[in-house]
Amino acid sequence: MFKKIPLLMLFSLVAVLPAVADEFSLLNEEKLGDFKMGLSETDLKKKVSCPLKREEEQLWGADGIYHQVWHYPACGLSFSMSSVQKSGSKSVDGITVTAPSVLKTKRGIHIGSSQQAVMKAYGHDKAADAESNKQMFVAGSIYGGLVFTFKQHKVTSIFLGAGAE
């Protein structure tokens, strides 16, 4: 009924599984204020009091899911929302924070934080699959993590989500 798995092959699988899980751990564990990935639209609406501007809902051929961006400019927040059905119940699959937002990451980084503070907090999480430079730093993975954008060595935006598919 069950095939025997060679011991060496089993050890190889065990060695690879933590690395795969770790690639998205920052994405899954990180928050910006009270906002995190997968938050339902119902819960999101309860947490934001600023006026909402919605972009048009679009079906993406790459994933077969409906996507829409919800902007709260007065709060410095934008949320990428997705649902499996057109006009269906949505959940957060990306968060962008800009001024005037005062939200912080779990490690205390916010708009206006120094580039040095970002490196201290997230330097050991530098993405191997993305090029960081003086204007941008990627923590976790470009496929799911945090992207910090800088101007004059200060954070001007923070994105939590997948920057690539």
| 59-104 pLDDT per residue, tens | 999 899 999 999 999 999 999 999 999 999 999 999 999 999 999 9
Tens of pLDDT, residues 102-146: 999 999 999 999 999 999 999 999 988 777 688 999 999 888 999
Q: What is the spatial distance between Cα 81 and Cα 92, in angstroms, rounded to a whole number?
A: 5
- Segment 19-35 mean pLDDT: 79
The set of residues, in sequence order, having a beta carbon less than 8 Å from that of 121 and lying 6+ positions away, is: 105, 107, 108, 109
Q: Whole-angstrom Cα distance, residue 92 to residue 79?
A: 6
Q: Around Cβ 113, how many Cβ atoms within 10 Å?
A: 21
Portion of the chain with pLDDT greater than 90, in percent: 72
Q: Report domain extents, the chain.
A: 7-32+104-165, 34-95
- Three-class SS of residue 70? strand
Distant-in-sequence, close-in-space partners of 155: CB < 8 Å, separation ≥ 6: 109, 110, 111, 112, 113, 114, 115, 118, 148, 149
First and final CA of the chain: distance in angstroms? 38
38-49: burial string, b at 16+ Cβ within 10 Å, e else: ebebeebeeebe
